[in-house]
Amino acid sequence: MLKQSFAALTLGAALFAQQALAADYAIDKQGQHAFINFKISHLGYSWLYGTFKDFDGKFSFDAAKPEASSVSVSINTASVDSNHAERDKHLRSGDFLNVDKHPTATFVSTAVKSTGKGSADITGNLTLNGVTKPVVIAAKFIGEGKDPWGGYRAGFEGSTKLKLKDFDIQKDLGPASQEVELILSVEGVRQ
Q: What is the pLDDT of residue 58?
A: 98
CA-angle at 59, arms to 70 and 67, nearest 5°: 30
Residue type at position 76 = N
- Can you tell me the distance from the alpha carbon of 90 to that of 92, in angstroms, rounded to the nearest whole number? 5
Q: What is the pLDDT of residue 30?
A: 85
- Can you tell me the distance from the alpha carbon of 116 to that of 180, in angstroms, rounded to the nearest whole number? 26
Q: What is the pLDDT of residue 165?
A: 97
CA-angle at 138, arms to 170 and 39, nearest 5°: 40
Residue type at position 20 = A
The CATH number of the structural domain formed by 22-190 is: 2.40.128.110
pTM value is 0.86
Sign of the CA dihedral with 97 first, then 101, 104, and 106 last: negative
* Strand ranges (E), the chain: 23-27, 35-42, 46-52, 55-61, 70-76, 80-81, 104-116, 119-128, 131-146, 152-163, 179-190
- Residue ranges of domains in the chain: 22-190
User: pLDDT under 70 in the chain at which residues?
Assistant: 1-21
Would you say 80 and 129 are in contact if contact means Cβ atoms under 8 Å apart? no
